[in-house]
């Protein structure tokens, strides 16, 4: 076991849980103080009982989330975990925003006292007496308003992200230059869906709408790169029945994601795919012929980067024999972090998901900030690195931005996904349906 990695993981977990706990205490105390102003005792008691009930439900749902795929502490409650996830996210962001404003206020007052000399009043004997003048009311009003706005912004953003952007499906058409692509495959199209997460907040009707939009694109091949559901008890069979409606002359293929592991549904998903006449690739390949040229499609289950004990593992281990030199190789791997190893093996194109594009993204000073940056360099869209480059080697930014095609390269496209996980919110990252066109580099 890697002791350093384990210690770092424990410290990070404790730090995050401490901040989450502090944010909950902050908002519940605020609610308690606010209800104290009410003159009606019965109304105040009812409100405070409701606050305590909300705290209890939040605690239960958080514990339940830690036991994903194993049990449900609240029976038949598909809707409770996403609602609580939404509350935790808003409370956490709102707490940090309020604290940031208050720290800025403190620094402002400290700087003002340090720079400006303290004002003095004079008595009749001309002895200077420190003035007790009141604080600047305009400053107090400014920071009081800023604090209220900072606390409310995450909640308002979450309402928009839940009610509007979460269901704003967008089609992305991307041309991908492929090294060593046979001339016959130039112009071949692939429709990609990913991260459906069919559950209480991704009903069957919405999955059907996405499939209909995908069919309108007329792709030659259709792929679904993992996370069909979120947890055990979600309707895996119904999800795959909708995926079955995809229309593609060359067939429908898929791979498992990490949530199939959590739900203990990897084998079941493979069975449902086979019954529907589709193919879920699990450490195996399928050779597809298009206009007389061969395309080698490889699929793997979710690729872990470490063992539960923290030891690093070699990603894509055991698939070396599935890579066909002289043919165009495309890898379906839910985790985009397998891309470096795929390029090392000579795989020309990887298709992934997993990140949801961060699910929430903001742009500050021309920099896009996304939570997915904490887990991968490949957040969303198209990236490249030289073929056969060792996985540990760092590719230049020019290559990652797909601006250098002078040497044979490997490409990855990371789909932003359809569904959500944790909080049922998308902000700055609408759901995606991809149409990928292969081009000769």
CB 60 within 8 A of CB 47: no
pLDDT at 261: 95
Structure tokens given for 242 = 């909708």
pLDDT at 250: 97
**Window from 8-22, 267-281, 321-335, 412-426 with minimum mean pLDDT:** 8-22
pLDDT-derived band of residue 104, with 50, 70 and 90 as boundaries?
confident
Half-sphere exposure of 116 (CA within 13 A, CB side): 9
The answer to whether residue 63 scores a pLDDT higher than 60 is yes
Separation of alpha carbons 33 and 21, rounded Å = 18
Phi-psi region for residue 402, left (φ > 0), alpha (ψ -120 to 50) or beta? left
Return the higher-pLDDT residue of 7 and 247: 247
Strand-pairing partners, residue 382, are: 413
Phi-psi region for residue 326, left (φ > 0), alpha (ψ -120 to 50) or beta? left
Instruction: Strand 328-332: give its sheet, edge to edge.
Output: 284-290, 293-299, 328-332, 349-352, 409-414, 381-386
pLDDT at 223: 98
Any idea of the CA torsion for 176, 373, 155, 157, to the nearest 10 degrees? Answer: -30
Q: Pairing mode, if any, of strands 293-299 and 367-369? A: unpaired
Does the CA dihedral 372-374-376-382 come out positive or negative?
Answer: positive
Structure tokens given for 72 = 């449900």
Of the candidates 264, 399, 414, 274, the one whose C-alpha atom is nearest the C-alpha of residue 332 is 414
pLDDT at 356: 95
Return the higher-pLDDT residue of 57 and 261: 261
pLDDT-derived band of residue 14, with 50, 70 and 90 as boundaries?
confident
Of the candidates 130, 131, 202, the one whose C-alpha atom is nearest the C-alpha of residue 169 is 202
For residue 320, the 8-state DSSP code is G
The answer to whether residue 211 scores a pLDDT higher than 80 is yes
Separation of alpha carbons 231 and 160, rounded Å = 25
pLDDT at 143: 76
pLDDT-derived band of residue 128, with 50, 70 and 90 as boundaries?
low
The answer to whether residue 132 scores a pLDDT higher than 70 is no
**Window from 98-102, 141-145, 244-248, 433-437 with minimum mean pLDDT:** 141-145
pLDDT-derived band of residue 188, with 50, 70 and 90 as boundaries?
very high
The answer to whether residue 323 scores a pLDDT higher than 50 is yes
pLDDT at 212: 98
pLDDT at 300: 98
| Cβ neighbours of residue 417 closer than 8 Å, sequence gap 6 or more | 194, 195, 196, 197, 227, 353, 354, 355, 356, 357, 431, 432
With vertex at residue 221, the alpha carbon angle to CA 217 and CA 227, rounded to the nearest 5 degrees, is 90
Element (H, E) at 145: helix 137-163
CB 413 within 8 A of CB 381: yes
Separation of alpha carbons 276 and 270, rounded Å = 10
Using DSSP, state whether 189 is helix, strand or coil: strand
pLDDT-derived band of residue 76, with 50, 70 and 90 as boundaries?
very low
The DSSP result for 77-120, as a single string, is: -SSHHHHHHHHHHHHHHHHHHHHHHHHHHHHHHHHHHHHSPPPE
Q: What is the mean pLDDT of residues 421-428?
A: 85
What mean pLDDT value characterizes the chain? 85
Strand-pairing partners, residue 74, are: none
The answer to whether residue 73 scores a pLDDT higher than 50 is no
pLDDT-derived band of residue 133, with 50, 70 and 90 as boundaries?
very low
Separation of alpha carbons 95 and 106, rounded Å = 16
CATH no. of 170-306+321-440: 3.60.21.10
The answer to whether residue 278 scores a pLDDT higher than 80 is yes
């Amino acid at each position: 076991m890697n002791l350093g990695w384990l210690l770092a993981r424990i410290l990070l977990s404790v730090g995050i849980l401490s901040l989450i706990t502090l944010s909950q205490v902050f908002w519940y105390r605020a609610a308690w103080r606010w209800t104290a102003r009410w003159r009606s005792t019965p109304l105040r008691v009812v409100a405070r009982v409701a606050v305590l009930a909300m705290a209890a439900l939040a605690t239960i749902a958080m514990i339940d989330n830690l036991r994903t795929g194993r049990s449900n502490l609240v029976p038949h409650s598909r809707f409770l975990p996403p609602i609580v996830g939404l509350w935790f996210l808003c409370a956490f962001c709102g707490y940090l925003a309020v604290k940031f404003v208050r720290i800025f206020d403190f620094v402002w007052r400290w700087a003002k006292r340090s720079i400006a000399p303290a004002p003095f009043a004079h008595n009749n004997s001309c002895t200077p007496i420190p003035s007790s003048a009141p604080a600047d009311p305009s400053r107090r009003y400014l920071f009081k308003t800023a604090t209220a706005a900072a606390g409310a912004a995450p909640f308002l953003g979450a309402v928009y992200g839940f009610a509007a952007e979460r269901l704003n499906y967008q089609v992305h058409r991307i041309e991908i230059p492929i090294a060593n692509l046979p001339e016959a495959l130039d112009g071949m199209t692939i429709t990609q869906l990913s991260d459906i997460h069919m559950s209480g907040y991704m009903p069957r009707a919405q999955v059907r709408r996405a499939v209909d939009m995908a069919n309108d694109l007329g792709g030659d091949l259709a792929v679904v790169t993992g996370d069909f559901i979120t947890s055990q008890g979600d309707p895996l069979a119904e999800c795959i029945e909708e995926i079955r409606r995809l229309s593609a002359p060359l067939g429908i293929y898929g791979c498992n994601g990490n949530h199939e592991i959590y739900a203990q549904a990897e084998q079941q998903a493979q069975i449902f795919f086979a019954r529907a006449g589709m193919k879920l690739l699990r450490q195996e390949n399928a050779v597809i012929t298009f206009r007389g040229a061969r395309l080698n499609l490889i699929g793997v289950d979710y690729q872990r980067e470490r063992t539960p004990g923290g030891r690093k593992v070699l990603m894509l281990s055991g698939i070396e024999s599935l890579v066909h030199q002289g043919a165009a190789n495309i890898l379906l791997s839910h985790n985009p972090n397998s891309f470096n190893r795929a390029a090392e093996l000579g795989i020309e194109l990887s298709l992934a998901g997993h990140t949801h594009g961060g699910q929430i993204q903001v742009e500050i000073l021309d920099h896009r900030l996304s939570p997915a940056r904490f887990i991968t360099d490949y957040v969303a869209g198209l990236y490249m690195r030289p073929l056969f480059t060792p996985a540990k080697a760092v590719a230049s930014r020019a290559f990652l931005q797909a601006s250098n095609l002078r040497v044979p390269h490997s490409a990855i496209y990371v789909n932003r996904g359809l569904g959500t996980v944790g909080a049922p919110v998308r902000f700055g990252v609408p759901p995606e349906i991809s149409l990928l066109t292969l081009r000769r580099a």
